[in-house]
Amino acid sequence: GQVVAVTRNRAGPFSYPDFKDLRDGSKSFSGMTAFALAPMSLTGKEKPERVWGMLVTANYFPVLGVRPMLGRGFLPSEEGAANAAPVAVISYRLWQRRFGGDQTILGRTIHINTHPFTIVGVTPPVFQGSTSGLRAEMWLPVTMTPELVKGDWLAERGTKWLQPLGRLR
């Protein structure tokens, strides 16, 4: 089936609790994922750099039909407790540009907004994310949001920030 954006008239993005209710109650889709684009700072030993990143549900890559070129995407367990999965998938471009295509990149720690994350995967060269016109350079589990933003976005129904995508059955 094809992947489609899920919207509610002009209501805009979804809160994380509303997305989970939608996903758990949906019969039209073989899979549903959600993402939010966010500016992120790569910090650490190298020169700091601002890049676009995405906070995504654990099934983001499978729903989109994307297989990492190196390593893996996210595990279902990595969408569990808040801040429990400090792992990252990086873009092919970032891997080449910042890390020189280092084949031993998997397992390396990088710092995003000063917090340590372990690289678990690298996307294929053609994959740029799910927002047209903007290239994402990294993907983090949605449950790492508290490390990156103020407020409890994972629990608040009033904070609308996730864009759902569904794969039609």
Q: Which of 4, 26, 39, 24 is nearest to 137 (CA)?
A: 39
The counts of H helices and E strands in the chain are 4, 9
Residue 9's pLDDT is 64
Q: Does the pTM exceed 0.85?
A: yes
Specify whether the CB–CB gap between 142 and 11 falls below 8 A: no
Give the residue from 59, 62, 113 showing the smallest Cα distance to 83: 113
Contact indicator for 87, 76 with CB cutoff of 8 Å: no
Per-residue model confidence (pLDDT) at position 131: 86
> Token pair 């969408």 is at which residue?
79
Per-residue pLDDT of the chain (169 residues; tens, 9 = 90+): 788 777 766 667 999 999 999 999 988 899 999 999 999 999 877 789 999 999 999 999 999 999 999 999 999 999 988 899 999 999 999 999 999 999 999 999 999 999 999 999 999 999 999 888 889 999 999 999 998 888 889 999 999 999 999 999 8
Kindly write down the DSSP assignment for every residue of 132-169, as one continuous string. TT----EEEEGGGHHHHSSS-TTT-SS---BEEEEEE-
Sorted by sequence, the CB contacts under 8 Å of residue 27 that are 6+ apart come out as: none
Q: Render pLDDT for 66-115 as a digit per residue (tens, 0 to 9).
A: 999 999 999 999 998 889 999 999 999 999 999 999 999 999 999 999 99
Alpha carbons 91 and 97: distance in angstroms, whole number: 10
Query: 151 near 159, Cβ under 8 Å?
Result: yes
Predicted pLDDT at 106: 98
pLDDT value at position 117? 97
3-state secondary structure of 119: strand
* CA distance linking residue 17 with residue 7, whole number of Å: 15
